[in-house]
Amino acid sequence: MKMPKTIKKLTAEDVESIIEIARDSWKWTYKDIYNKEFIENWISEKYSREKLLNDIIRSQKDDGIIFLGSFVKSIPIGFIELKIGDYRAELLRLYLKPEYTHRGIGELLLLEAEKIMKKKGIVECILYVHKKNSIGISFYKKNGFEVKHIDGDDLVMEKEYKY
Ligand SMILES: CC(C)(COP(=O)(O)OP(=O)(O)OC[C@H]1O[C@@H](n2cnc3c(N)ncnc32)[C@H](O)[C@@H]1OP(=O)(O)O)[C@@H](O)C(=O)NCCC(=O)NCCS
């Protein structure tokens, strides 16, 4: 189904939606990997309102963080977050509501982040993805990331940009 999608920087108003998207996506993505208690603890710790607000403000001030949301009818349904260094970036998070996956929205979020990275002269982006997250791995490979090495339960993937 075609639907209008908007991608823009997240604001303080979006905090509760980000938490809801993260919780739904984690339960779906990691259902065979982590138990419910682990997921709940992870969400309350890593997606605390305080931490999210801090990252949103940094992204708005262009202070080393890119934090974008994808909106359908003004409602956030996914987000991407990256940490930006001098020449290198790390993709920290990319999550969509499960019912919005496989419709090209992840690619749109990544492309928008890549436009911003290009302006900043980023030449390399890395990310960590769980070795059992086959959808994530497949998505990243299709979007130009290569597996560089294994770090514990994660694959470390990298994409180089030549402008
Ligand atoms: C990973 C994710 C952000 C990709 O965004 P997306 O909008 O779903 O992906 P796109 O539609 O842009 O790209 C499609 C490709 O992604 C992968 N993919 C996305 N959803 C999938 C699904 N439900 N089943 C299987 N593969 C899927 C496939 O490689 C697919 O290629 P194909 O159409 O040739 O099979 C999204 O699926 C998601 O939120 N997944 C759960 C969270 C997650 O794993 N995030 C990464 C953590 S590091």
Residue 80 sits in a domain whose CATH number is: 3.40.630.30
47-70 core/surface letters (b: 16 or more CB in 10 A; e: else): beeeebeebbebbeeeeebbbbbb
Whether residue 143 is predicted with pLDDT greater than 70 in this model: the reply is yes
Say which residue, 1 or 112, is predicted with more confidence: 112
Measure 67 CA to ligand 1 centroid, in angstroms.
Answer: 19
Torsion of Cα atoms, 40 then 43 then 46 then 49, to 10°? -120
**What integer best gives the mean pLDDT of the chain?**
96
Centre of ligand 1 from the C-alpha of residue 45, in Å: 25
Secondary structure of residue 90 in the 3-state scheme: strand
pLDDT value of position 1:
57
**What is the structure's pLDDT at 5?**
74
Q: What confidence score (pLDDT) does residue 114 get?
A: 98
* Residues 35-91 pLDDT 10s: 999 999 999 999 999 999 999 999 999 999 999 999 999 999 999 999 999 999 999
Residue-number span of the structural domain to which 51 is assigned: 5-160
If one residue of 42, 109, 135, 143 were mutated to test the ligand 1 pocket, choosing by the most ligand atoms within 8 A of its CB, it would be 135
pLDDT of 144 strictly over 70: yes
- Is 140 a catalytic site residue? yes
pLDDT band for position 2 (cuts 50, 70, 90): low
Q: Quick one: what percent of the chain has pLDDT higher than 90? A: 96
Overall number of domains in the chain:
1
- Contact between 71 and 60 under an 8 Å Cβ cutoff? The reply is no
> Residues 14-37: what's their mean pLDDT?
98
